[in-house]
Amino acid sequence: MKIVFKRIKYFIFIIIFFISSCKEKTFKKAKNQKNNISKITKDSIVEDPKIEGFSLKKYEIDSGVVRQGQNFSEILQNLNISYESIFRIGKEFKSVYDIRSIYPGKKYYTLKIKDSSKLSKLIYQHSVTDNIVMSFQDSLNVEVVKKPIQIRTLKAYGKIKYSLWQSFISNQLTPALVSKVAILYSWTIDFFDIQKDDYYKIIYEAKYVENKFIGVGNIKAILFNHKGRNYYAFRYLSENKKIESYFNENGESMQKALLSAPLEYVRISSKFSRSRLHPIKKIYRPHYGVDYAAPLGTDVVSTGDGEVVFVGRSGGAGKMIKIKHAFGNVITKYLHLHKYAKGITVGKYVEQGQKIGEVGSTGLSTGPHLDYRVYINGSPQNPLKLDLPSKDPIPNKLKAKYISEIDKIKGTLDNITFLNSKI
């Protein structure tokens, strides 16, 4: 997992850029809307009894779009709702819905009983899944009504030509699915090292509302063939259905005892070495860690579960954290930190992936970076070449049942020979 965090960061950047572009277009569209509510027909609203809960035949229905800079108070005032009612909505129903959470470009509907000018209900489309229903007729009420989400199981297949990202996008698979795959294999596959003609087969869930795709769900199973070797992963839900994780065909966890990298990093500036020219002292000496170059303040996380046994300055290491892990006699060190995360003190138990500090340049350092070190039985180890045990495999008493359950889905994976579903 040398680059998983970097890759995920890049994915997030792309997604944010896409969303920002969409928002900008939405804002421009909303700005051009006339400052009035337009009359619509009953047929233009999908009659969903779970959402409406009443007969539309007795209502006159209008629609509006939230303008940029507009708030709920203004909308309700224009609909002749009293200041008292608006105040009550903002205060009494804040735990149900905070009326400050309103966005330009969002649509809302107003429902009035025919032959009456009094507003009966306002339905605000907060998201693709959530409608905010405000009732004014008999008694004041606000509720969040969720649209039903349909889950479909889809299959996909693809070969690598240039990168995992390119392959997924060219096959019309979403960035979110790429990210899920990258995280799932972050302990086993370096995606900067994938080869041409590596391939993947996926069985996954897709979410739909009113037959419109809204996002991916769980990956149920995946086969990734890398350098001719098959890497299987199967979603497993514990018997109490409260804990889920991914395991290979032998019941071994996809997660290792330690993450391969403790941060999002730009590059590796210096590798583990028994003899390295020190950048400051200009003498050859061992470098028992891996230096990850990263911007000042970048989050540093614990690579594994364990207890903090040292927090403080340590000579040329600068600000340092030392963690003794819960398996074997393993210690990790995090050097040259800028500062420590809140609550990180000696005796504190931390979990894998938990933030413990921020990248700095304290001690003997030529610039912001993290010097990450691993010791097993007191002996320094190369963090990039560790062969560590998996976390919490399937219990022996459940292994036979697990293998039996995944046998069918494994067969389905193996028999996928073409891309038969696209988003």
> Based on the domain organization, do 349 and 403 belong to the same domain?
no
**For residue 411, what is the domain's CATH number?**
3.10.450.350
Give residue-wise pLDDT tens across range 243-289.
Answer: 578 999 999 888 888 887 888 766 787 776 766 656 666 666 688 88
pTM of the model: 0.61
> Based on the domain organization, do 250 and 177 belong to the same domain?
yes
What is the structure's pLDDT at 11?
44
**Across-strand partners of 230?**
225
> Based on the domain organization, do 21 and 153 belong to the same domain?
yes
For residue 261, tell me if it sits in a domain. no
> Based on the domain organization, do 97 and 196 belong to the same domain?
no
* Residue-number span of the structural domain to which 234 is assigned: 1-28+149-255+391-423
In whole angstroms, what is the distance from residue 328 CA to residue 338 CA?
29
What is the structure's pLDDT at 326?
79
Instruction: Write down the H helix ranges in 51-121.
Output: 72-78, 83-92
What is the structure's pLDDT at 243?
57
> Based on the domain organization, do 327 and 379 belong to the same domain?
yes
In percent, how much of the chain has pLDDT > 90?
Answer: 33
What is the structure's pLDDT at 167?
85
Give residue-wise pLDDT tens across range 214-242.
Answer: 999 999 999 999 989 999 999 987 665 55
Q: Is a pLDDT exceeding 60 seen at residue 90?
A: yes
For residue 338, tell me if it sits in a domain. yes
For residue 262, tell me if it sits in a domain. no
Give residue-wise pLDDT tens across range 111-124.
Answer: 888 777 788 888 99
Mean model confidence pLDDT for the chain: 81
In whole angstroms, what is the distance from residue 340 CA to residue 354 CA?
12
The tally of domains found in the chain comes to 3
In whole angstroms, what is the distance from residue 5 CA to residue 372 CA?
15
> Based on the domain organization, do 59 and 153 belong to the same domain?
no
**For residue 312, what is the domain's CATH number?**
2.70.70.10
For residue 96, tell me if it sits in a domain. yes
For residue 185, tell me if it sits in a domain. yes
Q: Is a pLDDT exceeding 70 seen at residue 83?
A: yes
> Based on the domain organization, do 105 and 179 belong to the same domain?
no
For residue 205, tell me if it sits in a domain. yes
> Based on the domain organization, do 348 and 413 belong to the same domain?
no
Highest mean pLDDT among 170-179, 180-189, 367-376, 412-421: 367-376
Residue for token pair 């894998």? 352
What is the structure's pLDDT at 137?
81
CA distances from 38 to 95, 135, 299 (A): 31, 20, 49
Mean pLDDT of 330-358: 95
For residue 79, tell me if it sits in a domain. yes
> Based on the domain organization, do 275 and 317 belong to the same domain?
yes
> Based on the domain organization, do 142 and 153 belong to the same domain?
no
DSSP, res 389:
P
Which of 115, 146, 177 is where one domain is finished? 146
> Based on the domain organization, do 69 and 127 belong to the same domain?
yes
> Based on the domain organization, do 309 and 344 belong to the same domain?
yes
**Across-strand partners of 388?**
none
Which of 126, 146, 166 is where one domain is finished? 146
Q: 322: how many CB neighbours lie within 10 A of its CB?
A: 21
In whole angstroms, what is the distance from residue 63 CA to residue 45 CA?
10
Does an H or E element contain 380, and which?
strand 379-381
Q: Is a pLDDT exceeding 90 seen at residue 19?
A: no
Give residue-wise pLDDT tens across range 360-392.
Answer: 999 988 889 999 999 999 999 988 888 777 777
What is the structure's pLDDT at 48?
42
Q: What are phi and psi of 287, to 5 degrees?
A: -125, 100
What is the structure's pLDDT at 52?
44
Q: Is a pLDDT exceeding 80 seen at residue 404?
A: yes
Give the CA dihedral 43, 49, 55, 57, nearest 10 degrees. Answer: 10
For residue 316, tell me if it sits in a domain. yes
Which of 146, 171, 199 is where one domain is finished? 146
Lowest mean pLDDT, pick from 52-56, 289-293, 335-339: 52-56
